[in-house]
Structure 1
Amino acid sequence: MRLNRSKLVGFAGLNKSYFSLFTSPFLALLTTLLVGVSAPAEVFSLGVYFLLATAFLNSYNNVMDVKSDALTKQGFPIPAGVITSAEAMAYSTSLAMLSVIVALRTLFVQIAAGAMLLLDLFLAFLYSTPKVRLKRFPVVKGSTLVSHTFLIPFIVAVLLTERNLLSYSMVIPPIFLMGLGIHTVQDIGDVRGDRFMGDKTIPLLFGTKKAVVFALSLVLSALMYVVFLEVQLKTLAILSLLAQTAMVSLLLFREELWKNVFWGSSAVSFLTLASLLYRCCV
C-alpha cells in the first residue's frame, strides 16, 4: 500500500464522526482531572488512551457502517473510494492494539482502573460489531457512548486516586441523563442510515417529535436532580442545564436544526460537567 497525501487524509478522515475525535477525549480527560488525577504521567497516559480509543471507536464504526455511509455520508473516506475497507480495518485494528498497550500501562499502576479501560475498549468493539452491535438498541447506544466519555473515565479516576466510588456517585445520574439526551438528539440525523442498518433508535421507533420530547425529558430530569444536589457550583450547573433545555426545546418547532442543537448542547455540556465535578471528590 502506497501512502500518498490523499491516503493520509483518508485515514485521518476515518476517525471522524458526530462522536467527535477531540471533544470526547477532552471531556474524558477533563473528568479525570476534576476528580483529582494530577500525576503528569497518569494524565498524559489517560489523555493518549482516550484519544486512541475514541479514534478506534469511530474508525471501526465507519468500517462496519460503510454500506449505510454510502447512502448518507458519501464524503467519508471508504464510500468516497479514498481508502479500501481492508485498509480501514487494518488501521482500526492498529488503533485498538495501541489502545490496549496504553491501557496495560494503567493496569500495572492500578489493576481495577486498567481493567475498566480494557472494558471500555471491549464495549467500543461491541458497539459496532455485527451480531452484537450495541448501537442498534435504543438507549443502549447512547449509554455506551456516555460511558466511554464520562462514566468509565470517572470510575478510572476515582480508582487511581484511591477514593470510595460510592461516596462520589451522586454526581453520576445528572451527567449521564444529560449525555443520553444529547445523543438522542444526534440520532435524529441518522434515521436513514439507521433504518438501512436495522438499528432501532428512539427517532426511528417513535418518530422525531417523540424523540425530541424524550431527549427533553432526560435533560429536564438532570436539571431537577441538580436542584436537590449539593455541589459547589450548583447555580452554574442549573444555568447550563437550563440552556441545554432551551436548545433542545427548539426542536419541538424546528426539527431541521438538530445538528445545531446537538453541537450547541454538546458545547454547553463541558460547562455542566465542570460545574458538577468541581471539587466533588475532595
Structure 2
Amino acid sequence: MSDSVPDPNTPPQPMPTAPADADKGAKARQLLGMKGAQPGETSIWKIRLQLMKPVTWIPLIWGVVCGAAASGHYIWNFENFFQALTCMFLSGPLMAGYTQTLNDFYDRDIDAINEPYRPIPSGAITVPQVTAQILVLLCGGIALAYGLDIWVGHEVPTVTALTLMGAFIAYIYSAPPLKLKQNGWVGNYALGSSYIALPWWAGQALFGHLNFTIVIVTLVYSMAGLGIAVVNDFKSVEGDSQLGLQSLPVMFGINKAAWVCVLMIDTFQLAIALYLVSIHQNFYAVLLVLLVIPQITFQDMYFLRDPLKNDVKYQASAQPFLVLGMLVTALAIGHRVIS
C-alpha cells in the first residue's frame, strides 16, 4: 500500500537515547556502589572500587572535617591541610572501603537475593581476590594511622587505636558469630557511631584533644546516625526476611520502621541543639534547628509515603542538611574552646 512507503524527502529520525542514558546511569551507580546497578563490568579495578562503595566515604570524610573544626585548633596552613587530607583518605577510601568490602564478603548470600548484580554474587570477582582486598585496605589503614600519630607527635597512638577500634567494630558488625547487623538496634547503632563518632574523634585527636564531653556528644549524635542506617535496611528487607535477619523493617514492618527511623533522626539532632543552648552557643543551636526543618519536610514528602521506593531520593534530599548540622555543632564546640 502507498501509505506504507517511506517518503524519500523525510530526513531519518534519530534513535531514542533513553536506553543509553539509563545504561550510563546504571554503570555510574554500579561504580559508586549504589542501588540500581547492573552486572557486566569486566575491569577488575572498577569492580574493586564498586566493592568499596565510594558513595559511603562522604560521611566519614565529613566526620574528620567536623572533628578538626571542633578541636578549635585547626589552622589553615600547608601542614594542617595535608594532615587533614591524609586522615580523610584513611577514614574514607581505606577504612570505609575495608568495611564495605568486608560487609559484601559476609553478605554474599543476602546480596544474591537483594542485589545479585553486586560483584561477588554475580561472579565478577573471586573470593580470594576479595580477601586480598580486605587485607590490603586494613593493613594500609593501620600503617597510615600510625604514620599520622608520628607526624603530629602523639605520645599515645590515638589515631591508630581509633583505626583498630573501627576495624574491630566493622568485623563484628559483618562476621559471625556476633554479626551485629542481625540485630536491628545494636547493628545500626554500631554502624551509625562508626560513621559519625569515629572519624570525628580522629579529626579531633589530630588537631586537639579528645575528651569525655566530645565522646558523649558524638555518641548522642550517632543515635541520629542510627536512623540513617535504618534507611539503608529498606532496600534489603526481602533478603533479610528470608534469612532471618532482624532489621527494623523486618521487626516492625515497613511503616512503623519508617516512623522509628525519622524520629531517631530528628529527636537526637534536637537534643544536640539543646546541648548547644546549655553551653551558651545559642546562634549555632538556632542554625541546627533550622537545618532539621527541611529534613522533616523531605521525610513527609518522600520517605514516610513510600520508604521502599523513595529511600534513595530521601537520602539525597535530606542527608546534606544532617551533615551540615554536624558541622554547625562542631563549629559551636570549637568556638567554645577558643573563646
TM-score normalised by structure 1 residue count: 0.88
Q: Decide which of 88, 98, 101 is 1:59's aligned counterpart.
A: 101
1:139 Cα deviation after fit = 2.0
The equivalences for 1:1-282 within 5 A come to 6-16=43-53, 20-36=55-71, 37-38=74-75, 39-51=80-92, 52-108=94-150, 109-110=153-154, 111-163=157-209, 165-168=211-214, 171-172=217-218, 175-228=221-274, 229-230=276-277, 231=281, 232-250=283-301, 251-255=303-307, 256-281=309-334, 282=337
With over 3 angstroms needed to count, the CA separation of the structure-2 counterparts of 1:95 and 1:197, relative to structure 1, is farther
- Kindly state the Cα deviation for residue 95 of structure 1 after the two structures are TM-superposed: 0.8
Q: Give the deviation of 1:162 after TM superposition.
A: 4.1
What is the aligned residue count? 277
Shift of 1:212: 1.2
Q: Cα 1:106–1:144, aligned 2, differ >3 Å: closer, same or farther?
A: farther
Of stretches 192-201 and 119-128 in structure 1, the one that deviates more from structure 2 is: 192-201
8 Å CA contact 2:51, 2:101 repeated in 1? yes
- Unpaired runs of 5+ residues, structure 1, are none
Between structure 1 and structure 2, the one with the greater Rg is 2
Cα distance in 1, alignment partners of residues 285 and 203 from structure 2: 22
User: Aligned-pair distance for 1:236?
Assistant: 2.1
2: CA distance, partners of 1:8 / 1:153: 26
Change (3 A) 1:47 1:227: closer
Q: Judge conservation of contact 1:177–1:218 (CA < 8 Å) in 2.
A: yes
Q: CA offsets, 1:59-88, max 9 Å, x none?
A: 111111111111211221122222112211
Identity among equivalent positions (%) equals 19
Structure 2 CA distance for partners of 1:75 and 1:5, relative to 1, 3 Å: closer
What whole-Å deviation, never above 9, does each CA across 1:180-233 have from its counterpart, x for those lacking one? 111112211211222344321111111111111111221231243245232342
User: Does the C-alpha gap of structure 1 residues 241 and 121 become closer, same or farther in structure 2, counting only changes over 3 Å?
Assistant: same
Q: TM-score, normalised by structure 2?
A: 0.74
Equivalent-residue separation in structure 2 for 1:190 and 1:132 (angstroms)? 20
Check the 8 A contact 1:223/1:242 in 2, yes or no: no
Specify whether residues 238 and 75 from structure 1 end up closer, same or farther in structure 2 by C-alpha distance, changes over 3 A only: same
The unaligned stretches of length 5 or more in structure 2 are 1-40
* Cα contact 2:52–2:101 (8 A) shared by 1: yes
Write the distance in 2 (CA, Å) between the matches of 1:90 and 1:113: 24
CA drift of 1:273 comes to 0.9
Question: How far is 1:117 from its partner?
Answer: 1.9
Root-mean-square deviation (Å): 2.4
For residue 137 of structure 1, report the CA deviation from its aligned partner: 1.4
- Once the two structures are TM-superposed, the CA of residue 237 in structure 1 deviates from its matched residue by 0.9
Amino acid aligned to 2:109: K
